[in-house]
Amino acid sequence: MPQRSIGPFQVFPIGLGCMNFSHAYGTPPPPEQGERVLLAALDQGVTLFDTAALYGFGGNETIVGRVLKPHRSRITLASKGGMAGVQGDDGVMRRVIDGRPEAIRRNCEDSLRRLQTEVIDLYYLHRWDKKVPVEESVGAMGRLVEQGKVRALGLSEVSAATIRKAHAVHPIAAVQTEYSLWTRNPEIAVLDACRELGIAFVAFSPVARAFLCDALHDVTTLEAKDIRRTMPRFEPAHYARNLQLLPGYKALAREAGCTPAQLALAWLLHKREYIVPIPGTTNVDHLRENLGAVNVKLQPALIERLDAHINQRTVSGHRYSAQSRSEVDTEDYPEA
């Protein structure tokens, strides 16, 4: 299987986003379920594993570190700092974006301990803290490289302009942002900036948070703490319009000879050779299905029809709430 490059690393074309084991989509599964998925991913040849200090307020890194420690030499391990859980005076853990150098150093030390490793292969700035120049945050991350605690640096949810500022301070190996048929923001400028600078693009939520798997038909069944409840395109009125896209999409998947989830991933793999999708799942069968996308060949004419069917003009609702949009630096399309 041809590998894809992320900085100095060669990885299987599809990685594993580990967030789902501990964070974001309602009640997390039992830890042993996450363990089964991690070990199955290793068995299937996955080499890129992506976690973060924020996920489960450290719990995700703890699971990933415990399970993958015996296999550390076989994998590329990615984590993120600059956004983590902080315990308030009331004892409640809350998400805090903090890009100050001292916070990044502390986040990294905590991650190294939880991951049970001496070095993190790919360390991202999870969010750019707009109160701190990105050059300061990346400078602190560069010192982690000098100290041997991190091998390569990444950025998450940033614009092309911010990528260029950061890359001038220290080489950036990867940029991670949501990208799928229904979230096209990276096409505005970030993908081209990555190509120009030799940076890998890591696509999270590549199957549109289950929409492109044809796995979510009734959003009213989502748990109260499921983050999709805060996302406009999952609001019932928007989602009802988006569901109208699925019949045509499933017909294209049948034409391609694959499942809807595999079509979404294959589309990304065909888009650019420097894109590495990182779908997440808590189900071993879904994992295997996702990885099967590497064998799906799409004809240019079918890709054109896909692009025309699901894109920023045909999808109803924004990907993030107004609050979440204020926290990211990605370029955005004008409101329709």
- Distance between CA atoms of residues 111 and 120, nearest Å: 8
The pair phi, psi for residue 224, each rounded to 5°, is -60, -35
Q: What share of the chain is helix, strand, coil (3-state, %, to 5)?
A: 50, 20, 35
Question: How far is Cα of residue 148 from the mean position of the Cα atoms in its chain?
Answer: 25
Amino acid at 103: A
- If DSSP codes are grouped into helix, strand and coil, which group holds residue 156? strand
Do 24 and 229 touch, CB atoms closer than 8 A?
Answer: no
Question: How far is Cα of residue 65 from the mean position of the Cα atoms in its chain?
Answer: 18
- If DSSP codes are grouped into helix, strand and coil, which group holds residue 86? strand
Q: Judge whether 333 counts as a catalytic residue.
A: no
Burial code (b: 16+ CB inside 10 Å, e: under 16) for 253-284 equals beebebbbbbbbbbbbbbbbebbbbbbbbbbb
Burial code (b: 16+ CB inside 10 Å, e: under 16) for 169-182 equals bbbbbbbbbbbbbb
Token pair of 241 as six digits: 């319009």
Single out the catalytic residue among 25, 55, 124, 179.
Answer: 55
DSSP 10: E
Question: How far is Cα of residue 215 from the mean position of the Cα atoms in its chain?
Answer: 19
Q: Which residues are catalytic?
A: 55
